[in-house]
Amino acid sequence: MSLKLLLAGRRGGSEAFLSPPDNARSWLRKVERWFRQGAEEWVRDAYVETGPRGAPTLKLRLHPAAGEVSVLAMPDTRLVVSAETSAVGPGYHVFLCDLLRALGVEFGIDWADANEAMGVGDPTGYFHTGDAGAVEVHMLAWLQESVGRVLRMRSRGESGFAMSMRFGHTFEHPGALLTPMGPRDERWLRGVYDDPRRGMDVFPWWKPGVGAHARLGRALSLLWTDVVWRPPLLSEERSLLREVARTLEQAWREDASLAYPWREWREVLGYLGVGGTLAEEVHRRAETHATRGPPLGYRRGAVQVALPAGWEIRIPGSLAEVYLGDGTWVARDHRRSVRFVPLEDSVDDSVLPTTEERRVLELEHRGKRVSGRASLHVEPGDCRLTALCSSGRHRALCVVSFDDPEEEDWALGTWRSLDHAAAA
């Protein structure tokens, strides 16, 4: 099992002029601002939503390899904080606990004692005692147990394993085990099972402290799992590339002796069009520190994307993804696009094939769980495949557009890759 913080307490302060639900939400807004100001470098996202039983909940993302930190505020001043830290490492666990203790001081939170029977508290004890000695022990025990499970399943002929990878994208990449810090092979698995300290390199944030090691680990996580390897199409992609470049520069200026991904760093700066002294230094290092093997980045290959309503599709990792306001999912680059619309609830006639297109749904596909019919229009500069797909009572529309007629097989393969997890 992963290492999970589950902290209970009671929040201090009051806004007596507000009703209890509004009081809790107002308090969480203040907590959000506090996190953004006090941990600005590490707050990737923060928002307040309605959680269990209608209680407002603050969701925080503090590291690209970590799941969300959840802060739930009940109207009666009770407070519950939950977070998993094993994906990132001991340094992150200590960082998060220190941050939450500072939050308690700032807002007068009365934290409950650990209760092992109830599963409440920090299983390493650090949050309650300040003694970090057991944090590494727990992390290594979790790693050894996880690797052991993978080895047992591989011995039964199973494959396609990932550890600590966020939900939503499944990467197609060679390796016995995919991790946020890159793939690992069978030899690594066996070595780590014998001595888990050999696997410390799989944690993006092993050492305590906010320093070069932590920043380099964060940048490597982003390079492996998030970066799309082409010039940016979306403002979010450009912001991500800037974050990677900035983080690598901060780490390098603090400690130039670490093993930096010079080749990929140069590629990122090229996408951003960055020049100057630093770019020249990165280029020189990339040339003199030639790295063998394939470059970093899972999204250089294909990726299986989890779509709304239980659907999945396989696309090139280089496509930019976005959700539109009407629930449509679109993935595209300069010459290709894939548009997906689930049709279970309500159907907007504007997204359905025209009457003429319905007459020419001459292509048919029957998979294990999904079947469909499609029309295909192909001429240079204007190629389009329009498909209606079904899986049990679930229906969806998929439109694949492409400029080059030579990519017809890719369009057909993309349509036929549609699957429905619920049907499985």
Give pLDDT, residue 1: 64
270-274, 290-294, 363-367 — most confident range: 270-274
Q: What is the pLDDT of residues 140-153, one digit of tens each?
A: 999 999 999 999 99
- Single out the residue of 201, 178, 206, 179 nearest to residue 191, CA to CA: 201
Dump the DSSP string for 110-163.
EEPPPBGGGTBB-TTSHHHH--THHHHHHHHHHHHHHHHHHHHHHHTT---EES
Q: In 298-364, where does DSSP find H-type helix?
A: 355-359
Give pLDDT, residue 15: 45
Query: What is the enclosing helix (H) or strand (E) of 84?
Result: strand 78-84
pLDDT band at 344, cuts 50/70/90? low
Whether the pLDDT of residue 273 is over 50: the answer is yes
Cβ-contact 387, 374 below 8 angstroms: yes
Q: How far is CA 163 from CA 32, 189, 190, 225, in A?
A: 29, 12, 15, 13
Lowest-pLDDT choice from 202-206, 255-259, 328-332, 420-424: 420-424
Whether the pLDDT of residue 16 is over 50: the answer is no
Collapsed DSSP state (helix, strand, coil) of residue 299: helix
Cα end-to-end distance, the chain, whole Å: 25
- Rounded to 5 degrees, φ, ψ at 210 are -95, 95
pLDDT band at 13, cuts 50/70/90? low
pLDDT band at 346, cuts 50/70/90? very low
Q: Give, as one character, the DSSP assignment of residue 258.
A: S
Q: Are strands 177-179 and 161-162 parallel, antiparallel or unpaired?
A: parallel
| Helix, strand, coil % over all residues of the chain, rounded to 5 | 40, 25, 35
Question: 């294990």: which residue's tokens?
Answer: 368
Cβ-contact 193, 177 below 8 angstroms: no
Cβ-contact 229, 299 below 8 angstroms: yes
- Single out the residue of 317, 307, 380, 384 nearest to residue 344, CA to CA: 307
Cβ-contact 114, 121 below 8 angstroms: yes
Q: How far is CA 264 from CA 237, 268, 279, 295, in A?
A: 16, 6, 12, 7
Collapsed DSSP state (helix, strand, coil) of residue 387: strand
Lowest-pLDDT choice from 173-182, 187-196, 267-276, 362-371: 362-371
**CB atoms < 10 A from the CB of 43, how many?**
16
Q: What is the pLDDT of residues 54-88, one digit of tens each?
A: 889 999 999 999 999 999 998 888 999 999 999 99
Whether the pLDDT of residue 19 is over 50: the answer is no
* Section 18-22 average pLDDT: 50
Amino acid at 136: E
Domains defined along the chain, listed by start: 4-129 (3.60.90), 137-288 (no CATH), 301-423 (3.40.1000.10)
Whether the pLDDT of residue 14 is over 90: the answer is no
Amino acid at 344: E
- Rounded to 5 degrees, φ, ψ at 354 are -70, 170
Whether the pLDDT of residue 22 is over 90: the answer is no
pLDDT band at 51, cuts 50/70/90? confident
* Section 27-36 average pLDDT: 94
- Rounded to 5 degrees, φ, ψ at 302 are -80, 160
* Vertex 155 angle, CA 151 and 160, to 5°: 65
pLDDT band at 40, cuts 50/70/90? confident
